[in-house]
Each structure stands twice: as structure tokens, then as C-alpha cells.
């Protein structure tokens, strides 16, 4: 079987870092795209293609994709992982902040997927994975823009799966609980966010990036071609779809 090539957005740290390293460890060729350099990820992945670009900028995204094709010749898997999750009271949310969250969490997956799609079609096989959140069900009151954007991403997943099913390209989403990453520590950790979420879970510990790897590998597996349009809730039992 041809060696598959994967592109992971938000690969510098957190979930994206964990996904890139895991994919490489399972034999995939990996390109990582992030707004910042990715020395930690590149240091753990042999033959890693590091792409520094803004996922909300269509020109930068397409230029990054050209580098992927120049390097690997093809592309099979896209993991739309990059995202932001500011926490604030709804009344304090400015229109600019609302637009920023929508651009990064919802418009960027649209832009990256649209740029990637011709290459998946050319390969004759593809897997698109969108990282959403169990927060769409638990609905934390201080994360209205985030919850709205991630619910939109679930709709994007379902509709796109219908469009791409005849092309042997599946589209699925993974909905984690609150994952312990450096960004989450800065954003909600100091306010007791981890403790609050953990108290709602059936599994009484904070979720780690490594807890999502097996689900990602399952969704992109060669044998998962009949799984599409789904949101897999991996939240330790804090939310039920």
C-alpha cells in the first residue's frame, strides 16, 4: 500500500503536536502547519515538513499546500486541529473577538479543506478529520463564540461527508473534553476549569492529548471507509451525543 501523507494544522504544540508525532510513528509522512515555528514537533518526526502559515489566510494556505505536494507528491489525510478558545462573559465579547474565533475555528477548516481537496481527489482516497469539542453539549456560559464555532464545524463535517462520499473521501469529527495543553493551562487552568470539567466526567482525571490518538488512528484507518459524517465524542463521559 502506498505510504499515506497527512497534514496537521496547529502542529506546534498540544493536540496537533501529539497527532503529528503519532502519525509519523505509525508510518505516515507528516506535514505540520502552524502560525509559529514547530521545533518540538520537528525534533520528534523524521522527514517532517514544517509549514509556517496563517490558516485564516487563503494565499498562505495554498502556498503551504504547494510545498507539501512538492515534497511528498500527494496528500491523503487532513486533520483540521488549529483553534482558539477564549473565555469571557458573553456581554464582554467584542465583535472583533467573535469574528476572530469564527475565522480560526470555522473559516480556516473551510479554507484548508478546499485547498486540500483537489489533492485528495487526485489520490483517489482521503480522510478529513475535524477537531471539534464536547463543549457543544456541555455549553460553558463563558465560551459562547467557541461553542458556536465548534457546533458549526460539526455541521460542516456532516454536510461535507455527504458531498465527498462518492469520492472515497470520509469526513469525521472528534470531540474531546478539556485537554490539558499549554494553551488550556493559560486560558482556563487558573480559573479551575480543569477541576470543573473533571467533576462532570465519568472518568475522574483530566484528559491528555495522548487520549485522542487511538480515535484519530481509527478514523483515518484504511478499514474505516464506511465511517463518515460522524462526531466521535471522546470526553470521559462528560457529554453524550
Q: Residue 186: pLDDT above 70?
A: no
Mean pLDDT of the 212-224 span? 97
Fold of 5-234: Rossmann fold (3.40.50)
Mean pLDDT of the 183-212 span? 74
More confident: 74 or 2: 74
Can you tell me the distance from the alpha carbon of 94 to that of 222, in angstroms, rounded to the nearest whole number? 44
Give the model's pLDDT for residue 191: 58
**Helix, strand or coil, per DSSP, at residue 21:** helix
CB 143 within 8 A of CB 89: no
Give the model's pLDDT for residue 205: 84
DSSP label at residue 90: G
Give the model's pLDDT for residue 239: 61
Q: Which residues are designated catalytic?
A: 146
Give the model's pLDDT for residue 187: 63
More confident: 199 or 64: 64
Per residue in 124-167, pLDDT (tens digit) is 999 999 999 998 988 989 899 999 999 999 999 999 999 999 99
Amino acid at each position: 500500500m502506498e505510504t499515506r501523507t497527512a497534514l496537521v494544522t496547529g502542529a506546534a504544540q498540544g493536540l496537533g503536536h501529539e497527532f503529528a508525532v503519532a502519525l509519523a510513528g505509525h508510518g505516515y509522512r507528516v506535514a505540520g502547519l502552524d502560525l509559529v515555528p514547530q521545533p518540538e514537533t520537528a525534533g520528534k518526526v523524521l522527514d517532517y515538513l514544517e509549514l509556517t502559515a496563517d490558516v485564516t489566510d487563503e494565499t498562505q494556505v495554498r502556498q503551504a499546500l504547494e510545498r507539501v505536494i512538492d515534497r511528498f507528491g500527494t496528500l491523503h489525510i487532513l486533520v483540521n486541529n488549529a483553534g482558539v478558545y477564549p473565555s469571557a462573559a458573553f456581554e464582554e465579547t467584542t465583535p472583533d473577538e467573535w469574528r476572530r474565533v469564527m475565522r480560526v475555528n470555522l473559516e480556516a477548516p473551510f479554507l484548508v479543506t478546499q485547498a486540500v481537496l483537489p489533492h485528495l481527489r487526485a489520490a483517489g482516497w482521503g480522510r478529513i478529520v475535524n477537531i471539534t469539542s464536547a463543549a457543544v453539549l456541555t455549553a460553558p456560559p463563558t465560551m459562547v463564540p467557541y461553542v458556536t464555532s465548534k457546533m458549526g464545524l460539526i455541521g460542516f463535517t456532516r454536510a461535507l461527508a455527504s458531498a465527498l462520499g462518492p469520492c472515497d473521501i470520509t469526513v469525521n469529527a472528534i470531540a474531546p473534553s478539556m485537554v490539558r495543553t499549554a494553551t488550556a493551562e493559560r486560558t482556563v487552568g487558573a480559573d479551575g476549569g480543569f477541576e470543573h470539567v473533571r467533576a462532570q466526567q465519568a472518568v475522574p482525571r483530566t484528559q491528555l492529548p495522548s487520549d485522542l490518538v487511538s480515535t484519530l488512528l481509527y478514523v483515518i484507518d484504511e478499514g474505516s471507509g464506511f465511517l463518515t459524517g460522524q462526531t466521535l465524542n471522546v470526553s470521559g463521559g462528560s457529554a453524550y451525543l
